[in-house]
């Protein structure tokens, strides 16, 4: 959801997306990573603000590669 007059989603919407990924990773939907294994993300179209890597790294300690 993008508010009228905005060109991109707001930060809370983006953090909700990161929380949704964490919910998937902690669910029974996918195979869980081994204990101690770091979560790594690949952000296609990262952009200058690096918002998804910044949120994922600060909230969950994930590492990212951006393109």
- The reported pLDDT for the residue numbered 1 is 63
The C-alpha torsion from 9 through 39 and 27 to 11, rounded to 10°, is -20
- The reported pLDDT for the residue numbered 11 is 81
Residues 37-55: pLDDT tens digits?
Answer: 888 999 998 888 899 999 9
**pLDDT exceeds 70 at position 63:** yes
Whole-structure pTM value? 0.77
Residues 6-37: pLDDT tens digits?
Answer: 777 778 888 999 999 999 988 888 887 777 78
Domain boundaries, the chain: 31-67
Taking alpha carbons only, the member of 1, 3, 2, 8 closest to residue 49 is 8
What's the whole-number average pLDDT of the chain?
Answer: 87
């Amino acid at each position: 959801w993008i508010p009228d007059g905005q060109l991109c989603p707001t930060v809370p919407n983006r953090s909700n997306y990161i929380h949704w990924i964490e919910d998937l990773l902690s669910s029974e939907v996918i195979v869980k990573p081994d204990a101690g294994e770091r979560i790594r993300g690949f952000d296609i179209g990262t952009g200058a603000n690096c918002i998804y890597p910044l949120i994922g790294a600060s909230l969950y300690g994930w590492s990212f590669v951006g393109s």
